[in-house]
Structure 1
Amino acid sequence: MAPQRFREQFDHIQRSMPDVALAMGPDDSAEFLYEKGVVLVRDGEDARMVEDTVRAYFTAAPDLDQDRVRRASPESNRTGITRIRVGEPGEGGPRGDRTVAHALRAVREREDRAGRRLVSRNHVVHIAPVNACPGDEPVPAPRAEGTNPSPDGAVHDPETAVGVLVIDTGLLHDCHSCSQLDHVDGDFAVEETDENGMLKQYVGHGTFIAGLVTSVAPNTNVTVLGTLDDVGAILESEFGARLFEAVDRHGWPDLISLSAGTSNGRTDGLLGMDAFMEELREQRTLLVAAAGNNGSATPFWPAAYADLPAYRNSVLSVGALRSDGAFGACFSNHGPWVKVYAPGERLTSALTGFDTPVPYVYQHSTYDDCRFDFSYACTCRHPRHTGVLSDSGAAAKPDQVMFEGYAQWSGTSFATPVVAAMVAAHMTAHKETDPRAASEQLLAGSAEFAEVRGAHVPALRPPTWRPVPIALPSAQA
């Protein structure tokens, strides 16, 4: 049974994509989201072979319709990917798509012979999820207490600043009222509030990330793109093209901070990102990517590219430490494919309301117990609030808060820009022009470690980051 929060997020993302029928999978589980009735293949000979193979397989199965197998998108796009329609998206419910599963099964023998993947689901790439969302929802933080990490006092020099491209949700309209964001550039969010004037979910995500970068590394030229505007989700088939558009528009930067991705049940990456990742490998850019918030060891892409030999120097995957900095956060994904951890719980950064306070209504309720069975005072349980999507009954009134500038927020989404900024700060301090070399130097020169599910892992903690005290029970998580 899919967790309730996953089902709520599924419905939220589905409403944001009214023209795309989505399923949760694989099969009857809730590991990822994908487009119903469609598979992805490479253009050219692979696409023709997959069409023929699936059509023949469906012809031999009396309950499947081979006439439905057809191209759903044209060839010759830059990502080298084609969508093939194998079923009707309106059929069945959201709990898996059997026609897609049959299509994958039909090609499996040919994939085994070819020694490479030929076909894939069209996954939904979304803001690094707790099954499709950040680690928690933001909490207002007093302006007087500043940010955490706090600015290190370095000067911004646009001529020597390190270029950081943030692929996320767009900037909020009043972001430049915050002095830390006065030199941040990029797209502005298309729609910040709903019809009732309430701040929409996720819209401040990119602004919050930009504030973390400039706090840890003030000498950065940060550009925030609204690639993931509207609930922070996009189809895999479109994501690769949007990444190409980003670097075509702004050039290949020193660093890309990406707090989004998906698992896919495989260990060889995302078919829809293959072309972009191959081009990234030939550049000098370092992709710093969030490990995801499923509390799982399952690879989360594109962060998990860091564990593939061809991409180990071009991708750095980041997990989250809890607010004391000593252990992994309950929600953080983990495993050997996560290469470094950084503070990612209860960080404080810029959000919105600098010009005029903005109200927000919580969507999710906190829990009595940690969703991942940890025993420390994690963000699953504290601070307490009731959300619109609460299952505690119709009488439960959702909590409303007012944002007036800063917020406290948690997720690997936010540990990621902290690490990207630490690489940028190292480049500035050591006059290093190669971001990949700077990353290696930073990790090699750090003697800091943390404990994540019994393993000792590399940790990076900014000098200006302050641990947030948490109440621990007698038995440690």
Structure 2
Amino acid sequence: MTNSGDGGQPGLPFGSDYTPDAAAAEPGARVRRRVQRQVEELSTNRTNPVSQRQLVRAVSSRYQERRGRRLATVVDPRGLDVLLVSDEILVTEQTWADPGARGYLERQGLSEDDLGCPDLESRLVRLVTSEDRTAQDLDDIATELRSRGFAASLTHITPCSPVIKSRSLGGPAPADGLVPFADYPVVDAGSGPVARVAVIDTGIVGAPRTDGWLQSVERHRRDDPDTHGNENNIDLLDVEPRDGLLDFSDGHGTFVSGIVAQVAPSADIAVYRALRGGGAGSELDVACAMVRAVKAGAQVLNLSLGCQTRHDQPSLAIAAALDWIGEFERTHDAEVVVVAAAGNYGDTAPVWPAAFRRVVSVAALASDLRATPWSSHGFWVDCSTVGEGIQSTFVEGTESYEFTGEPDTFGPNAFAHWSGTSFAAPQVTGAIARAMHEHGLGPREAFRWLMARGRAIPDFGQALSILPGV
């Protein structure tokens, strides 16, 4: 079913509110070339073994440097690498409580370790190995348990890169920028309460901008110091320079936050850092951040991250977080909507957390609302919006030659154009937040309001035109 909403064209939930002014300058030829490179990279990198090996090595080295943990890969049935924490298994509490399953795991040299999230301890158990076992050995153990009807899995990495995007010639392209936030023409005014949005990502730029963008965004930091001993250092958020240059995941959370702010200027945005070290975080890192955000009052969660799993099975950690959120809603009379990027795999295999039934999954379209060949898609996708050449806030710094032959320098108050489902999802997050505020709706009702104004595209859900692309 499609609906034109309040008498407008199907697929335009807010009419022409985000259409550039006729006097605005069109993106130049260089920007268009860079966006085209981004699109080409998204279409080819996933099946390019050289590119994938380079990116997996880069993410693994950065993750170990920042987190002190090694990563490993196993090959999925499609012949593609799946990135995992090398020495641990996750099981449900019910699995660990079963004498047979527990005995089997202990005989394999696995023992319980700190989960890092007390709220999930009644649902999930983290097991680490005391022996020299490969990731394939641990995967075989988890597979044996699943064959016996128990829930077990290696700990997957849910990155914004390399599988969601990478930074090479198709990296972010500098943009001229938007007007100061105080002069931004989009009006998000209504009778409802201001929507509370949580962006779970790489963090957000610590140094305040002088153009007003992101000025009111709440920065949340983990309580543990990083490997360099910097405890609660806000300047490390979203920027982890190597040799003084921007790393390939830097700016991702800042960019995503700016998209939410463009679509819903009134939204109360808070940022939680779950990804670091090359833009990678484990599914457990993400699950813990989801719990922290909901406990702090978030109503809409944005997850511009995700992964395909070894056996296309749902992430155990994020499933536990979603169960916890459901219980929180019941006991606190609250509503929480979780929005996630569908991924850039270009196939129909489920990407987690987007493929969970209670998560709003967002695929990406071209600027003319055509389906893209590089976006993940399928029956599990709820909606889609433009994901090519989106403009948003970025971080200050110079890119490294390690990942691009044409490094750019971004100055203060930087903006950029970037492509990926990571940048489609926050448009839907912002649209839900705006509908909540303007129409006095709860999160779920606001999502239904939005979907009723979409235009159906097979395997891409309800297509929505929100921010313009290139």
Same fold? TM cut 0.5: yes
Distance across 1 between alignment mates of 2:104 and 2:148: 9
2:450 paired with 1:442: yes
2:365 paired with 1:321: yes
> What does residue range 62-101 of structure 1 map to in structure 2 within 5 Å?
66=107, 68-74=108-114, 77-79=118-120, 80-86=123-129, 88=131, 97-101=135-139
Distance 1:225-1:72 versus aligned 2 partners, 3 A rule: same
Report the secondary structure of 2:148's partner residue.
Answer: helix
**Alignment partner for residue 286 of structure 2, among 215, 224, 239?**
239
Structure 1 position 156, deviation (Å): 7.2
Distance across 1 between alignment mates of 2:128 and 2:114: 12
Distance 1:130-1:195 versus aligned 2 partners, 3 A rule: closer
2:468 paired with 1:461: no
Percent same amino acid at aligned positions? Answer: 26
Q: Deviations over 1:130-176 (max 9, x none)?
A: 36648952111123x669xx954315799932111101112213443
2:172 paired with 1:142: no
Distance 1:101-1:211 versus aligned 2 partners, 3 A rule: closer
Segments of 5+ residues of structure 2 without an aligned counterpart are 1-46, 221-233, 330-334
AA in 1 matched with 2:468? R
Deviates more, 1:332-341 or 1:165-174: 165-174
Aligned partner of 1:53 in structure 2 is: 104
Aligned partner of 1:345 in structure 2 is: 388
Q: Residue 87 of structure 1 contacts residue 99 of structure 1 at CA under 8 Å; is this kept in 2?
A: no
Distance 1:176-1:347 versus aligned 2 partners, 3 A rule: same
Aligned partner of 2:304 in structure 1 is: 259
AA in 2 matched with 1:69? G
Aligned partner of 1:403 in structure 2 is: 410
Report the secondary structure of 2:323's partner residue.
Answer: helix
Aligned partner of 1:154 in structure 2 is: 187
Q: Deviations over 1:330-377 (max 9, x none)?
A: 321111111100111100111123xxxx3213544xxxxxxxxxxxxx
Q: Residue 14 of structure 1 contacts residue 22 of structure 1 at CA under 8 Å; is this kept in 2?
A: yes
**Normalising by the residue count of structure 1, what TM-score does the alignment of the two structures yield?**
0.74
Aligned partner of 2:140 in structure 1 is: 102
Report the secondary structure of 2:206's partner residue.
Answer: coil
Report the secondary structure of 1:305's partner residue.
Answer: coil
**Alignment partner for residue 271 of structure 1, among 316, 341, 346?**
316
Q: Deviations over 1:255-300 (max 9, x none)?
A: 1111112211445521112221112234201101111111121111
Report the secondary structure of 1:203's partner residue.
Answer: coil
Distance across 2 between alignment mates of 1:327 and 1:34: 34
Q: Residue 207 of structure 2 contacts residue 235 of structure 2 at CA under 8 Å; is this kept in 1?
A: no
Report the secondary structure of 1:304's partner residue.
Answer: coil
Report the secondary structure of 1:183's partner residue.
Answer: coil
Report the secondary structure of 1:333's partner residue.
Answer: coil
**Normalising by the residue count of structure 2, what TM-score does the alignment of the two structures yield?**
0.75
2:252 paired with 1:205: yes
AA in 1 matched with 2:399? Y
Distance across 1 between alignment mates of 2:137 and 2:131: 9
Aligned partner of 1:373 in structure 2 is: none
**Count of equivalent residues:** 391
Distance 1:235-1:272 versus aligned 2 partners, 3 A rule: same
CA RMSD of aligned residues (A): 3.0
**Alignment partner for residue 379 of structure 2, among 323, 336, 347?**
336
Distance across 2 between alignment mates of 1:87 and 1:2: 35
Aligned partner of 1:371 in structure 2 is: none
Q: Residue 152 of structure 1 contacts residue 218 of structure 1 at CA under 8 Å; is this kept in 2?
A: no
AA in 2 matched with 1:210? S
Distance 1:198-1:321 versus aligned 2 partners, 3 A rule: same
Distance across 2 between alignment mates of 1:161 and 1:8: 43
> What does residue range 94-133 of structure 1 map to in structure 2 within 5 Å?
97-111=135-149, 117-127=150-160, 129-130=162-163, 133=166
Q: Residue 178 of structure 1 contacts residue 350 of structure 1 at CA under 8 Å; is this kept in 2?
A: no
Aligned partner of 1:63 in structure 2 is: none
Q: Which has the higher contact order (CA 8 A, sep 6+)?
A: 2
Distance 1:121-1:4 versus aligned 2 partners, 3 A rule: same
Aligned partner of 2:342 in structure 1 is: 291
Structure 1 position 190, deviation (Å): 1.3
**Alignment partner for residue 184 of structure 1, among 205, 217, 220?**
217
Distance across 2 between alignment mates of 1:158 and 1:175: 30
Distance 1:239-1:185 versus aligned 2 partners, 3 A rule: closer
Aligned partner of 1:375 in structure 2 is: none
Q: Residue 128 of structure 1 contacts residue 412 of structure 1 at CA under 8 Å; is this kept in 2?
A: no
**Alignment partner for residue 202 of structure 2, among 143, 155, 169?**
169
